[in-house]
C-alpha cells in the first residue's frame, strides 16, 4: 500500500479532532500545567502504541499462531465497526463505561492522559490492527521503520489537536466536528472493506478466482 495512503488511513483511525470534545470534558477541572502534562502524556502514549504495534505486532501474532489473513479479516471488521461509530459522530473505539469512569477520575484529580484519551479513544484495537497489517505488507527494515515513524506523526497530530482544542472547538462547533468525524468514517469504512477483502481472498482462494 502507498505510504501516503497508509498515513491518511492511520490519521482517520486516530481521528483526534473527534476526540476533542472528550479532551475538553476530561480536563475541564485541571489547571494549565496539568492540562499541558495531559497533552504531552497522551501524545507520547499514542506514539508508543503505534510504534510498538509496527515493530512487535507481527511477532505477537506468530507467538499466538494467528495467520495474517485471519487478522486482516478481524482487523477489517474492527475498522468497519469504528467507521459505523464515526458515521454516528462517535469517536472510534469509544466505550461509554470508560468515558463515565474517566469522568469520575477527573473529578478527583487523576490523570486521564493514558486512559481513556490515548487508549482506547485514540489508539484502540483498530489502530493496533491497522499497524500490524501494514507491518505484514512491509518489504524490509526500511518500510518497518517508516511505519514506526508514523507514530511520530500520530503523536504530533494528537499534540496539535489537543493543544488547540479550545480554538478548534470554537471554530468548527459541534456540527463541524460531527461532519468531519463522519467524513473520516467514510474513509475508514472503505479501507476496512479493502483489508477484509484481501484477507478473505487469502483464506478462500476460490473466492479470489470467482471475483476475478
Share of the chain above pLDDT 90, in %: 21
pLDDT digits (tens, 9 = 90+) for 126-139: 888 889 989 888 88
What global pTM score does this model have? 0.73
User: CB neighbours of 70 closer than 8 A, spacing ≥ 6?
Assistant: 199, 203
pLDDT, the chain, mean: 82
User: CB neighbours of 18 closer than 8 A, spacing ≥ 6?
Assistant: 86, 89, 90, 91, 92, 177, 180, 181, 184
* Mean pLDDT, range 176-189, rounded to an integer: 81
- pLDDT at site 110: 44
Distance, first Cα to last Cα, the chain: 20
For 164, what's the count of Cα atoms within 13 Å in the CB-facing half-sphere? 11
The percent helix, strand, coil of the chain (3-state, each to 5) is 85, 0, 15
Tell whether the model's pLDDT for residue 102 goes beyond 60. no
pLDDT digits (tens, 9 = 90+) for 24-81: 878 877 888 889 999 999 999 999 999 999 999 888 888 888 887 888 888 788 878 8
pLDDT digits (tens, 9 = 90+) for 147-173: 999 999 999 999 999 999 989 888 888
Measuring CA to CA, how many Å separate 4 from each of 9, 110, 181, 190? 9, 37, 20, 16
* Mean pLDDT, range 86-95, rounded to an integer: 64
- pLDDT band at residue 212, thresholds of 50, 70 and 90? low
- pLDDT band at residue 107, thresholds of 50, 70 and 90? very low
- The angle formed by the CA atoms of residues 74, 118 and 50, to the nearest 5 degrees, is 55
Amino acid at each position: 500500500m502507498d505510504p501516503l495512503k497508509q498515513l491518511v488511513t492511520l490519521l482517520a483511525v486516530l481521528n483526534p479532532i473527534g476526540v476533542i470534545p472528550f479532551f475538553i470534558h476530561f480536563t475541564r477541572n485541571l489547571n494549565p500545567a496539568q492540562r499541558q502534562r495531559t497533552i504531552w502524556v497522551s501524545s507520547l502514549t499514542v506514539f508508543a502504541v503505534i510504534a510498538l504495534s509496527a515493530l512487535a505486532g507481527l511477532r505477537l501474532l506468530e507467538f499466538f499462531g494467528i495467520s495474517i489473513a485471519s487478522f486482516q479479516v478481524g482487523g477489517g471488521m474492527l475498522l468497519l465497526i469504528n467507521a459505523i461509530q464515526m458515521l454516528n459522530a462517535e469517536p472510534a473505539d469509544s466505550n461509554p463505561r470508560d468515558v463515565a469512569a474517566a469522568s469520575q477520575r477527573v473529578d478527583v484529580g487523576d490523570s486521564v492522559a493514558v486512559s481513556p484519551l490515548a487508549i482506547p479513544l485514540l489508539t484502540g484495537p483498530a489502530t493496533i490492527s491497522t499497524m500490524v497489517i501494514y507491518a505484514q505488507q512491509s518489504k524490509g527494515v526500511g518500510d518497518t521503520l517508516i511505519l514506526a515513524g508514523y507514530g511520530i506523526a500520530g503523536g504530533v497530530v494528537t499534540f496539535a489537536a489537543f493543544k488547540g482544542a479550545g480554538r478548534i472547538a470554537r471554530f468548527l462547533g459541534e456540527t463541524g466536528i460531527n461532519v468531519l468525524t463522519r467524513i473520516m468514517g467514510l474513509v475508514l469504512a472503505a479501507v476496512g472493506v479493502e483489508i477484509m477483502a484481501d484477507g478473505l481472498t487469502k483464506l478462500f482462494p476460490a473466492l479470489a478466482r470467482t471475483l476475478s
